[in-house]
Structure 1
Amino acid sequence: MDNMFVVGLLGVLALVVGGCVCVVWAARGGPRWVRVVASVTLAAGELLRQSERSRRRSMRGRDGGGD
């Protein structure tokens, strides 16, 4: 069970690093597939930022005003 968790984390790490490499490569004029992967990576990052903002707003609303 522990090994599967480590393998899963390494897989996620590889996807993140690969996505970042594609973003940099696409900025320098890489092939079409690199630009597609970079667009998907940037869209996923934006979705994560939006969900984090909305989660923070909902947590702030539960605090009772944050005084």
Structure 2
Amino acid sequence: MLLLILSFVVLLVIGGCVCVFWAARGDAPRWARGVARATLLGGELARSANRSSRSRQSSGDD
């Protein structure tokens, strides 16, 4: 069951990356641009969460 969920998540990520590439070319339909925007937003959220957890870890070491 866990493998099925992980496979689904990987397929979503790959599909999002394809939509980002397609939208960057400029000839993507509206739905693909929306998926690309959501994918980029998810990446930004993950990056900011990673930064905040790193800053909390480094401040605790002092």
User: Scaled by the length of structure 1, what TM-score is found?
Assistant: 0.89
Q: CA RMSD of the aligned region, Å?
A: 0.5
Ranked by relative contact order (alpha carbons within 8 Å, sequence separation 6 or more), the top structure is 2
Structure 1: 4+ residue segments shifted above 2 A: none
Q: Take 1:18 and 1:45, find their aligned partners in 2: how far apart are those partners?
A: 14
Offset of residue 28 of structure 1:
1.2
Uncovered stretches (5+) of structure 2, i.e. residues with no partner: none
Aligned residues between the structures: 61
Uncovered stretches (5+) of structure 1, i.e. residues with no partner: none
Q: Take 1:44 and 1:59, find their aligned partners in 2: how far apart are those partners?
A: 23
Counterpart in 1 of 2:12? 15
